[in-house]
Structure 1
Amino acid sequence: MATFSSVTRQHVLQALAEHDSRGADEFLATYGFTPDPVHRLTHEGSTYDAPAVLGVAHRYATGRLATPDDFRSGMDTALAILRRRGFEVSGPAPVAPRAAATRTPRAPRAPRTPSATTRAPAAREVAPVICPTCSMALPATGVCDTCS
């Protein structure tokens, strides 16, 4: 299946211009598409075969024509790309984003009491000892490697 994420609005407009110059029947025949009465793209008062236009736009974007077989399992995704690029597309309604789940508030927890399983506080980090001459951190020996 082709991925259509590389198709931009400009690629779709190029495919629409080619569709207009060739005519619908020749455009579909040239690229091996059959008319799809369900999935239509409307632009500036004209309607187009959405899968064919997107397939040719994919060719403009990637150099590879998306064939009708590329749409069999992902027509909703393909139409969503056209909608995201600002085109009006008829066909199955876009999938609405899921609403945020509403949560019921929890009952307040009882305060914890210290127990044997309570962790001890983490040990405090000791600041490194600094060499007064060169301002480098001293190693564990306490003798500066740079100054000695």
Structure 2
Amino acid sequence: MATFSAVTRQHILAAIAEYDDRGAQNFLGVYGFTRTVRESLEHEGHEYDARAVLGVAHKFATGRTATADELAGSTVDAVTILRKRGFDATGPVTAPPAPAPRARRAAPSTPRAPRTTAARRTSEPERPAPVCPTCFMTLPATGVCDTCG
């Protein structure tokens, strides 16, 4: 399943440029898409297939083209994604699935005892490390300076 969070406006513009270079039929054929009339993208006076452009933009973003089957059979709506990236896309917009109703918890049969707050311990300030009085190096755990002896 393809996710489109990595697809940016620049990726979509790159896909549109490739669409223009190849032509509609060649672009759709190379990537395995068929022309859909229900979802279209309009950019600078030209009309593009929204699903195909989004699938190829996914390739520019992730290195893998989102297939026509992934876009057609998923909850992903190409029009919504393209609109969120600032493009003029038209077509049927599917509503996101409604969240499942939350089950209510039954009231406890016995009342709970009130929480008691435990006293918090304050942290002690960190003690400075012991220093050798001769060479001013930090002493190891043994307390004997490695340099001075």
Fold match by TM threshold 0.5: yes
State how 1:15-30 maps to structure 2 within 5 Å: 15-30=15-30
Determine the structure 1 residue equivalent to 2:142.
none
CA distance in 2 between counterparts of 1:90 and 1:62 reads 25
- Report if aligned partners of 1:5, 1:81 keep a CA contact under 8 Å in 2: no
Q: Does 1:44 align with 2:55?
A: no
Structure 2 residue identity aligned to 1:80: T
- Give, in angstroms, the shift of residue 127 of structure 1: 8.0
What is the CA-CA distance between 1:25 and the residue it aligns to?
0.8
2:132 corresponds in structure 1 to none
Aligned equivalent of 2:68: 68
* In 2: Cα distance, 1:119 partner to 1:75 partner: 47
| Residue segments in structure 2 that go unaligned for 5+ positions in a row | 99-111, 128-149
Shift of the 37–6 alpha-carbon distance from structure 1 to 2, 3 Å rule, reads: same
Alpha-carbon distance between aligned partners in 2 of 1:67 and 1:121, rounded to the nearest angstrom: 58
How many equivalent pairs are there?
112
Are the equivalent residues in 2 in contact too, given 1:76–1:92 (CA < 8 A)?
Answer: no
5+ residue gaps, structure 1, are 99-116, 129-133, 135-148
Deviations 1:85-118 (A, max 9, x none): 001111113648x9xxxxxxxxxxxxxxxxxx88
1:8–1:120 Cα change, 3 Å: closer
Who is 1:8 aligned against? Answer: 8
For 2:56 and 2:116, the matched residues in 1 are separated by 65
1:89 aligned counterpart, secondary structure: strand
Q: Percent identity?
A: 50
Which SS does the other structure have where 1:64 is aligned? coil
Q: CA deviation at 1:31?
A: 0.9
Q: Is contact 1:4-1:78 (8 Å) kept?
A: no
Q: Which amino acid aligns with 2:43?
A: H
Distance, in Å, in 2 between the alignment partners of 1:22 and 1:123 is: 71
Is contact 1:41–1:87 with CA below 8 Å preserved after alignment?
A: yes
Task: Please give the TM-score of this superposition, normalised by the length of structure 1.
Answer: 0.63
1:21-53 alpha-carbon deviations (Å, 9 max, x no partner): 111111111111111111101111111000110
TM-score (norm 2): 0.62
How much does 1:74 deviate? Answer: 2.6
- Equivalence for 2:89: 89
1:88 maps to amino acid: D
Structure 1: which 4+ aligned runs deviate by more than 2 Å? 72-79, 93-96, 117-128
Q: Cα RMSD (Å) of the superposition?
A: 3.0
Give the residue type in structure 2 aligned to 1:2: A
